[in-house]
Amino acid sequence: MAQQVQVREIDDDEGARLLQIVRKGTGPAVTWRRPQMVLLSAQGMPTRGRQQGKRCLIRH
């Protein structure tokens, strides 16, 4: 089985910038999908949850 990966803690400025990218949601999927996965990981969501819930937006 693959090793679990978690990102480092992100500060408020980083989180706001990533959230802005995700909410904009335009352009190639990779442009906003990666920041979405980083936010979910930073919030402690396990890998399986990120895979299943990848269409969910994060609300603050």
Name the least confident of 2-16, 21-35, 43-57.
43-57
What pLDDT score does 54 carry?
52
CB 41 within 8 Å of CB 7: yes
What pLDDT score was predicted for residue 52? 57
Q: What is the pLDDT of residue 13?
A: 94
Q: How much is the pTM?
A: 0.62
d(CA 44, CA 31): 22
What is the model's pLDDT at position 35?
87
What phi and psi, each to the nearest 5 degrees, are found at residue 7? -90, 165
List the chain domain ranges. Answer: 12-52
